[in-house]
Amino acid sequence: MVAVLTSFCLVFATWPPGWVQADKKDELNEKLDEIQEKKKEKEEDIQKLKSKIEKRKEKLSEAENQLEKTEKKMDKVEKRLKEAQKTLDRYNDEFKNSIRSMYMNSSMNRMESLVTADSFDQFLARFEIMRLIVKRDYKIVEEYYEEKQKVKEEKDDLEKLTKKQEKEAEKAQKAYDELTEEMNKNKSALAELSHEEGDTKKELQKLDLSNLKSGNFAYQGPLSRPVNGPMTSGYGYRDSEFHTGIDYANSIGTPIHAAANGKVIRSRSCSCGYGYYIMIDHGGGVFSLYAHMWSTTVRVRTGDVVKRGQQIAAIGNNGRSTGPHLHFEVHKGSPGNYVNPVNYMR
């Protein structure tokens, strides 16, 4: 058993670190894909909810507008009802006073008027006049009572409609609130996923940096153009001399950028004609070289890890140079094995 355990320990102790790093990277990339898929689903859900919320919002606004219109009608009806009641009270009082007056003050006179009629026809005529006076006053009161009753019925109908509309508005508000709450939950979930996505990307970035520092990393090409400016000389023979790279001309101080992620393996002056130069290992046996800089413009040292597009120096005119330019080389397999940079650039 001891021997078996020892064998296992030795196997794991000698397990290639590159395999472990590759497995970890695959795991993180798989996790990132899963998070991004969930994010996409949440974003789609949010878009659908936005559409539903807008529709519900329209219904809620419509319900509130209808309720507002009904309330305005109710205000007018209540005003009419108060006016009708005042008029009715006034005429009702006048009618009662008229009856009371006829009874208390003029009953004997009116009775005397009837009794002293010269004929039965005159009696009936006088009686009819008295009856019409009372009937007229009563009719006025009755008409205003009917008007009041009509307005009251209209108010009752409006009160019923108001209650119905209030229920509809409450129902619409509840549905709107539920959708809004669901939207907030989805936004919170999306924020969490975005945070998790950021953390996973950071882990991948740290893993890449760790790989770059350890020298255990794959080629992350193609290479980007390292500097702005026209190409003044290409790779190959010129004037019976072999040119090992590409020249880009521009003014002194123009920024030079790393052509891809990698690790700086050389950053020094050279009497070979390069002046100050930098060499970067991009993994997979691909190396880039940048020459003719002044040391004062160089921003990286040997052992530094650089990212694509990071400024590493600036154009100079140092070494074997007839004017300000960047001499850019690509080596394949090992430093010193020159290849045409164009074949590795995008």
| Model confidence pLDDT, tens digit, residues 49-100 | 888 888 878 887 887 888 788 888 778 777 877 776 777 676 666 656 555 5
Parse the chain into domains and list their residue ranges.
35-212, 231-344
DSSP-derived secondary structure letter, 119: S
Whether the domain at 35-212 and the domain at 231-344 fall into the same CATH topology: no
pLDDT, position 135: 64
Q: How confident is the model at residue 172 (pLDDT cuts 50, 70, 90)?
A: confident
DSSP-derived secondary structure letter, 222: S
C-alpha 305 chain-centroid distance: 36
Q: What share of the chain is helix, strand, coil (3-state, %, to 5)?
A: 60, 15, 20
Tens-digit pLDDT profile for residues 248-264: 999 999 999 999 999 99
Helix (H) or strand (E) holding 263, with range, is strand 262-270
Higher pLDDT among residues 19 and 174, named by residue: 174
pTM for the full predicted model: 0.47
Tens-digit pLDDT profile for residues 190-219: 899 888 888 887 887 776 666 666 666 778
pLDDT, position 58: 85
* 35-212 classified as CATH 1.10.287: yes
| 2.70.70.10, 2.130.10.10, 3.40.50.620, 2.20.25.90: CATH of 231-344 | 2.70.70.10
DSSP-derived secondary structure letter, 290: E
Neighbours of 271 (CB within 10 A): 8
Query: DSSP alpha helices (H): ranges in 105-119?
Result: 107-115
| Separation between Cα atoms, residue 188 and residue 317, nearest integer Å | 56
**Lowest-confidence range among 149-163, 217-231, 280-294, 313-327?**
149-163
